[in-house]
Amino acid sequence: MSETISVDGLADAISETLQQYSDAVIGGIKKAEDITAKECKENLEADSPVGATGKYKKGWKVTVTADTPLEKHTVIHNKQAGLTHLLENGHATRNGGRTRAFPHIKPNEEKANEAFEKRVEEVIRNGG
């Protein structure tokens, strides 16, 4: 149903409607970030190389570093942080050779970025 608004109250009504839309979009984007981070973590666990103990493969974690009313920062990391770069890119060995690279982070990062963009577009289009 439509509501009758006086000319004097028009600015307030528009402001209130925009604030509701903004709050819904921010909440939807935060939800999209949570879903994307969880999916990315699962994909990293599936694609990670398995060592002798399997600690690296099981070591992926999702951490929210900041969560304010207007923004949220989520980090996906591995407990064995120094190993990620070595496995992703390969590294020099003692005898002068190089180890094989296991690219598993970059492809999953690209997939997660695309999925997040699609989710955000959907949230904005639907208003939350």
Q: Which two tokens stand for residue 14?
A: 């528009």
- pLDDT digit string (tens) for 74-101? 999 999 988 999 999 999 999 999 999 9
Do 27 and 42 touch, CB atoms closer than 8 A? no
pTM here is 0.85
Crossing angle for the helix pair 81-89 and 105-126, nearest 10 degrees? 110
Confidence of residue 51 (pLDDT cuts 50, 70, 90): confident
Do 101 and 90 touch, CB atoms closer than 8 A? yes
- pLDDT digit string (tens) for 58-71? 999 999 999 999 89
CA distance 32 to 44: 18
Q: Where are the domains of the chain?
A: 10-126
Helix%, strand%, coil% for the chain, nearest 5:
55, 15, 30
